[in-house]
Amino acid sequence: MLSEFDLIKHYFRRARAGNAVLGIGDDCALLAPTPGMQTAISTDLLIEGRHFFAGADPRMLGHKCLAVNLSDLAAMGARPVGFTLALSLPGVDQDWLEEFSNGLFALSDLHDCELVGGDTTRGPLAVCITVFGEIAPGHALRRDAARAGHDIWISGTLGDARLALAGYWKELALAPDQLLEAAPRMHLPTPRVALGRALAALPVAHAALDISDGLIGDLQHILDASRVGATRNSTCCPPAPCWRASRRRCAAVSPLTGGDDYELCFTAPPAQRDAVIAAAVSANTPVTRVGTIDAEPGLRLVDAAGQPVEMDVKGWDHFGGE
């Protein structure tokens, strides 16, 4: 049986040199921040049975645990630098650790985001990652930066992960190919790091967040922080292709209130539409304009003709929404 230290050395301490002044192995890691830059920090805790299924594929889990953290850096517009990993493991399963660390490092290498330390303990399976990123002062995409008259944009498509969950939970009877199409969006989300960084580089401040609990609920966070309201056009929010294929719908399952999308929702002045599109092209990430920020508080939904549409939905609330 591997000791805790052997386990760390074997699966998480890598031979190749990273950017950290001092990585895994001492009491603290040492990083050398780029002079003049601010540090963006975010933590996400994922617990078996709560945030991922018991018996989840370890490689995909390694990817997802880091992806949801990188998504927070993306939503701030920050460049990923490094992360720590706190692991609670029920036992030492070497096959599991091999797969988990492979999934984790494949994504960390893609973003040049180095594992610099962590903690390992025995207990119910849980993974807690803290990421560190860098952002130029004044360029962070803050939730309080939305202004009346600004456009509301989202990246990619919404609802795929929720559709997969509906398939697993049997809320909807999905065709096998539908589930096959939707499932990777749930298990292997793509953090929109390049888009976030391209938006943060634009000269005018924008508000942004990553959509983890459904667009409706998450957009409200921007509205609250910025003390504004919004009108969203119900027809221009792009559902994933597999949603369009789904003829059987149920009220509880909506691409707008689902969760686990990890797309960015951001705002920008109308004068910057071309700049936003150019940023999206440079990041190779599709974006769609879905509404407008209003001075009047509240979130309104209109159809293509501008007529109000009834909206009785909430994003996923971990304490009240189940």
In the complex, the residues that contact ligand ADP under the rule CB under 6 A are 8, 12, 24-27, 85, 87, 115, 117-120
Nearer to ligand ADP, 83 or 243 (CB): 83
DSSP tally for the chain: helices H, then strands E: 9, 10
Residue 117 contact partner, candidates Mg ion, ligand ADP, none, CB within 5 to 8 A by sort of partner: ligand ADP
Cβ neighbours of residue 38 under 8 Å, at least 6 residues apart? 134, 135, 136, 137, 140
Of the pair 119, 177, the CB lying nearest Mg ion is at 119
Shortest CB 29 distance to ligand ADP, Å: 7
Q: Which of 299, 119, 158 shows the shortest CA–CA distance to 239?
A: 158
Query: Which of Mg ion, ligand ADP, none does residue 27 bind to, with CB < 5 to 8 Å depending on kind?
Result: ligand ADP
Q: Which does 103 bind (CB under 5 to 8 A by kind): Mg ion, ligand ADP, none?
A: none
Q: What is the radius of gyration, based on Cα positions, of the chain?
A: 20
Q: Per 3-state DSSP, what percentage of the chain is helix, strand, and coil (rounded to 5)?
A: 35, 25, 40
| Cβ 46 vs Cβ 126: under 8 Å | yes
**How many residues form the binding site for Mg ion (CB under 5 A)?**
1
Taking the complex as a whole, the smallest distance from the CB of residue 23 to ligand ADP amounts, in Å, to: 8
The minimum distance between CB 24 and Mg ion, in angstroms, equals: 11
Instruction: Specify whether the CB–CB gap between 20 and 31 falls below 8 A.
Output: yes
Q: Output the CA torsion sign for 11, 15, 21, 22.
A: positive
Kindly state the smallest distance separating residue 191's Cβ from ligand ADP, in Å.
20
Can you tell me the distance from the alpha carbon of 78 to that of 28, in angstroms, rounded to the nearest whole number? 23
Residue found by looking up tokens 């369009």 in the block: 244
**Smallest separation (angstroms) from ligand ADP to the CB of 70:** 17
What values do phi and psi take at 180, rounded to 5?
A: -60, -35
To Mg ion, the closest distance from the beta carbon of 87 in angstroms equals: 10
The number of residues making up the chain comes to 322
Cα–Cα separations (whole angstroms), residue 291 to 88, 206, 234, 270: 42, 15, 9, 11
Look at residue 24 and give the partner it binds from Mg ion, ligand ADP, none, a contact being a CB closer than 5 to 8 Å depending on partner kind.
ligand ADP
Measured from each CB, the residue nearest to Mg ion is: 119
Closer to ligand ADP at the Cβ: 66 or 253? 66
| CB nearer ligand ADP, residue 20 or residue 211 | 20
Is 119 among the residues that bind Mg ion (CB under 5 A)?
Answer: yes
The residue among 12 and 132 lying less far from ligand ADP, judged by its C-beta, is: 12
Contact between 303 and Mg ion per CB under 5 A: no
In sequence order, what are the beta bridge partners of 46? Answer: 127
Distance of closest approach, residue 84 Cβ to ligand ADP, in angstroms: 7
- Residue 82: name its binding partner from Mg ion, ligand ADP, none (Cβ under 5 to 8 Å by kind): none
Complex with ligand ADP: residue 27 or 322, whichever CB lies closer = 27
Interface residue list for Mg ion (CB under 5 A): 119
